Structures are given as C-alpha cells and as structure tokens.
Amino acid sequence: MPTYPDFEALYRDVIPSVVSVYVGGRRRPGGAGSAFVYDDRHLVTNEHVSRLADAADAGRVELRFADGSWRVGEVVGADAYTDLAVVAVDDLPGDAAALPLATENPAPGRSVAALGNPLGLDGSISAGIVSGANRSLPTSNGFAIPDVVQTDAPINPGNSGGPLVGFAAPEGDSPADGGDTADPGYEVVGVNRAKQGDNIGFAVSPVIANRILPALVADGRYRHSYLRARTLDVTPTVAEANGLDAPHGVLVVDAAGADSDEGFLRGCHESTDYRGASIPVGGDVLVAIEGNPVRTHEELMRYLITETRPGEPVAVGIVRGGDPLTLVVELDERPAVDRDDRTDRDGGSRIPVE
C-alpha cells in the first residue's frame, strides 16, 4: 500500500514557525506577505515584501505569529537579485523554532506544502508536488533568478516569502542535527515567490538561499559576481544564424569593455533576420567557466552566484570565429539595482527566439 503524506501533521509541526508580515499596518494583499523563522533572531521573507516596508515605514514591519501574538521587526538585509530579505525580531514566541533549509534542491515529484498568508488569510497551507527544477524566473529589475523551484502547490499574493516545505529527506540529507530547530522530518525546499498561471508557482531554491542568507544576516547585503555580459542561449536557430556547427553554450550579445583588449568577451555588433526573427550574430560563444560546461544561461548564472566572488579571476572557455579560446576574466561586483535601468547584463537576453 502507498504511504500518503500527512499534511495535517506537517501543518501542526511547522505553522508556529511561519509568520504573517504586514507593511504599514495594511492587512490586505499588496500590503502583506509571509516569512519563516531562520534562526533565533531572524526571519526570511522576499525582497519585494521588504521593499514595501522600506517605502512605507523605513523598514519596519508588523509580524503576526501563529499563536496570535504580534511583534515589530526591522528589515536588516535584502538582495533584489534573488528576491530574498532578512527581518530581525526580538523575543520570538517559544514555539517559533527555526526551520532548517535543505542543502540540496528538491527533485520533481516530491510532496511539498506552501505555508503563509495568501490574500491576507493567516496560517494557510496549500499542498502539491515539485513540478520542475532549475527554472529561471525574471524579476522586475530585469534580472533572472536561476535555479528556481517550480511547484503546483497554489501560491497567491501574500504567500510571498513563506516557506515551501518538503517532507523528510533521504537519510543523511537533512541539515537538521538537533538543537533549536523545528522537527527535522521537514525542511524548507524553497522560499515562495510568485505565481504564473494556474497550478504554476515558483520558489527561490535552497541552494541559492543558503548562499545568500548568511551574508544578509552578517552584512545586510550580498556581493554578486558580475561578468559584464548579456547572453542568449544558443538554440538551433541561433546556431544556424551564426554559422555554428551545433547548438551549444550561450552567445554573448554584448559585453562591457569588449573593445578594450583581448581579456574581454566580445559581443555581437550586428544582427540578421533569420526565420522571421532578428538574431544577433558575430559574438563569442561561451561554453565553459572554470572547466564546467555552460550549456544554458541558467547554468552560467547558477555558477556565478553559487561558486564565485567579485574580484576573483575565472577561466572562461569560448568559441571566437570558430576557434576555441580560454580567457581569464576578473569578475566585477554587480551594481546595486537601478529601478530605471532594465539592462540585463549577466541576466540573459530578452530577444524572443524560438
């Protein structure tokens, strides 16, 4: 007989660690979000929720816990590029234990539950499975978050920042090792972020969250590596338009400093109409970074976020004019988000290509 997930037990065990976030006293969608307990003084939520707080009340948020008690918190760290933020709060309720973050991304098919404050309804749970992994999700600043988890568990306005919780991981995979944490039979496998259509929701992955959150707690910000290039996946159409033997890697559409010297990537200086689309042509094709294959923009972004730091040199494998080359490129620090600048360097091209 199959064993069915016990969502009632999951809710009972996890909900004390899930928090409703209200901005400017507004208990309605658009003025509310969700969060969960990260450690004995900090909560995790979305940057776009914290941004409302910055605009409304200098980072101050009102927090309602499952036991009905209220606290006032302060946004102490935020990262617009991954839509993660940290809220500091004193005197957590006694049963609001930290929820452990998974160390690996969940596999498709895993049972999960999204908890939070959808449509202003405190203490809600919706259930489903992981529908897909390694997605890329555009943000309002023109960047694309890599490694996103897709789920069919309903995620609605107000769920943002709440936990996507998975049942017990296989032996040895759970990061919980006792202490002041919630039941180690559960772990956070994503930070709920957005809904797109019926039965399609997205959450920031635990691999990305584990990289970003410690820096937000310690420093209030995360320093992102910046390759200074805008790329486009090499699909069959892009490959044919560029005279490439096969669809492989990512095409450098444009790159800062490209005309300075041989140590920079070269972007495309023209485009051609091909099969009904305008396709950039002539740029470098990036195929590897530090010896790791780059097959898609998604793989490039994931590596930059999880494996590199600003100021580090990285070896980049490219194809230029049909010849394989290796460049050593020193990574910059990605500039702070400018809401008026939608340029998406390192974030993938918005050029529509089938």
Where is 49: in which H helix or E strand?
A: helix 47-57
Phi/psi region, residue 265 (left: phi>0; alpha: psi -120 to 50; beta: rest), is beta
| pLDDT score of 1 | 42
Q: Which residues of 223-240 are buried (b: 16+ CB within 10 A; e: fewer)?
A: ebbbbbbbbbbbeebbbe
What DSSP string describes 82-113?
TTEEEEE-SS--TT-PBPPBPSSPPPTT-EEE
Same domain flag for 165 and 229? no
- When computed from its CA atoms, the radius of gyration of the chain, rounded to whole angstroms, is 21
Residue 128 within any structural domain of the chain: yes
Q: Could you tell me the pTM of the whole model?
A: 0.86
pLDDT tens sequence across 294-321? 999 889 999 999 999 999 999 999 999 8
| pLDDT score of 345 | 45
Residue 117 token pair:
């404050």
Residue 177 within any structural domain of the chain: no
Same domain flag for 31 and 152? yes
Residue 344 has pLDDT above 50, yes or no: no
Helix (H, G, I), strand (E, B) or coil at 216: helix
Q: Sorting pLDDT into bands at 50, 70 and 90, what band is 263?
A: low
User: What's 129's domain CATH number?
Assistant: 2.40.10.120
Average pLDDT score over residue span 329-354: 57
Contacts of residue 187, Cβ cutoff 8 Å, sequence gap at least 6 = 99, 100, 101, 102, 165, 166, 168, 169, 174, 175, 176, 206
User: What's 254's domain CATH number?
Assistant: 2.30.42.10
| pLDDT score of 133 | 87
The C-alpha atoms of residue 19 and residue 8 are separated, in whole angstroms, by 18
Output phi, psi for 55, to 5 deg.
Answer: -75, -35
pLDDT tens sequence across 56-86? 566 789 999 999 999 999 999 999 999 999 9
Mean pLDDT of the chain: 85
Q: Sorting pLDDT into bands at 50, 70 and 90, what band is 208?
A: very high
pLDDT tens sequence across 113-157? 999 999 888 899 999 999 998 888 887 767 789 999 999 999 988
β-bridge mates for residue 202, sequence order:
150, 194
Residue 25 within any structural domain of the chain: yes
| pLDDT score of 221 | 95
Residue 351 within any structural domain of the chain: no
Average pLDDT score over residue span 254-259: 70
Determine the number of helices (DSSP H) and then strands (DSSP E) in the chain: 5, 22
What count of other Cβ atoms lies within 10 Å of the Cβ of residue 110? 18
Contacts of residue 126, Cβ cutoff 8 Å, sequence gap at least 6 = 113, 114, 118, 153, 154, 155
Same domain flag for 144 and 238? no
What count of other Cβ atoms lies within 10 Å of the Cβ of residue 256? 16
Helix (H, G, I), strand (E, B) or coil at 313: strand
Residue 51 within any structural domain of the chain: yes
Q: Sorting pLDDT into bands at 50, 70 and 90, what band is 167?
A: confident
Average pLDDT score over residue span 5-11: 92
Residue percentage of the chain with pLDDT more than 90: 65
Number of domains in the chain: 2
β-bridge mates for residue 232, sequence order:
251
Same domain flag for 273 and 205? no
Residue 163 has pLDDT above 60, yes or no: yes
| pLDDT score of 53 | 65
Residue percentage of the chain with pLDDT more than 70: 82
Same domain flag for 40 and 78? yes
For 319, the domain range is 225-333
Side chain identity, residue 285: V
